[in-house]
Amino acid sequence: MDKIDFVILWVDGNDQTWLNEKNKYSKAKVDSDEKKYRDYDILKYWFRAVEKYTPWVNKIHFVTYGHLPRWLDLNNPKLNVVKHEDFIPREYLPTFNSHTIELNIHRIKNLADKFVYFNDDMFILKELTPEYFFKNNLPCDIWEEDILILDKTSDLNFAHILVNDLKVINKNFDKHKCIKKNFFKWFNFKYGKGLLKNILLGFWGNIAGFYNYHMPNAYLKETFVKVWLKEQQIMHNSCLTKFRDDNDVNQYVMSLWQIYSGQFIPKSHKKFGRIFTLNDNNTKLYNFLKNPDRPMVCINDGDVQNFDKVKNELCTLLEQKFPEKSSFEK
């Protein structure tokens, strides 16, 4: 098995220098959601989990505006601290758009040809082998078609971005030719109920949508290069926006590209994690963390009114689960 790197993005929403620069470009109606930036102080548990459950990782590329956690040991040989200016083209900087950062990950110096991209709210909870992410030198994923539905509860900005991803994929791939060429990657019992959706939507001419598991994604670096070559304009335009914009594409265009080109290995939906959105009563999340039945979890910020209380509860529970310092801590 070749080397596999992890890439994680992090922002310190309390960094005054970052806030001052952000406010230079921010408008009252743009990107005003503080939940994207407030910090529950749980990042160190991400590193503890990685060291405990995936000690085989080659390198961790820690992507940041420039701020760093006080506890982070910069001398760890597995750690590569990457500032935006180190890999994102200058014409796109400064950026406060996570899509810009994601779409340029492949430019990180010395990044392995195979890597896994994490948000900082995604945690490993059980021992994982390299084959969980890559088999036969291909990323593991699920080909699960779905229908994008917009309702009162939808995040319209995010939905627009998913539609843009779909437009790129439908433009570059003939769905039925892809199915014919990779039939048993499309028709695969590992997908569970997702297989039924594939069958029902298989008669539809275009790709109607896709199910988003919102978990760490395994990528081939070459996929990013291909998409940039094929769709340079929309990639460029997405990266020019300082904040998330309805016209952007995001990293999912890369995973979809791998799927419809057949450059992946089918993965069981049961091997993905669970997603929880924080509020003021997180009993289900806390019970899951104590006894997880899936190997990963995504802890989305949400409608939390009593921030300090929830932060303390979450930190206490993760400290109990990961009490030993990792080598990434001073």
For residues 112 and 58, the answer to whether their CB atoms sit within 8 Å is yes
> CA–CA distance from 329 to each of 56, 71, 141, 315, 316 (Å)?
18, 5, 32, 16, 18
Confidence (pLDDT) at 63: 98
Host H or E run for residue 177: helix 175-181
Confidence (pLDDT) at 154: 54
Confidence (pLDDT) at 113: 98
Phi and psi for 160 in degrees, rounded to 5? -60, -40
Confidence (pLDDT) at 152: 54
Phi-psi region of 31 (alpha: psi -120 to 50; beta: other; left: phi over 0): left
Q: What is the pLDDT of residues 20-50, one digit of tens each?
A: 899 888 864 444 455 566 789 999 999 999 9
Global pTM value: 0.94
Confidence (pLDDT) at 148: 77
Q: What is the pLDDT of residues 184-234, one digit of tens each?
A: 999 999 999 899 999 999 988 899 899 888 899 999 999 999 999 999 999
Confidence (pLDDT) at 151: 58
Which among 197, 217, 195 is positioned nearest to 208, based on CA atoms?
Answer: 197
CA geometry: angle at 169 spanning 167 and 174, to 5°? 110
For residues 48 and 326, the answer to whether their CB atoms sit within 8 Å is yes
For residues 225 and 123, the answer to whether their CB atoms sit within 8 Å is no
Confidence (pLDDT) at 1: 66
For residues 284 and 276, the answer to whether their CB atoms sit within 8 Å is yes
Show the low-confidence residues of the chain (pLDDT under 50).
Answer: 28-32
User: What is the spatial distance between Cα 46 and Cα 160, in angstroms, rounded to a whole number?
Assistant: 30
114, with CB counted inside 10 A (0-12, 13-18, 19+), is buried
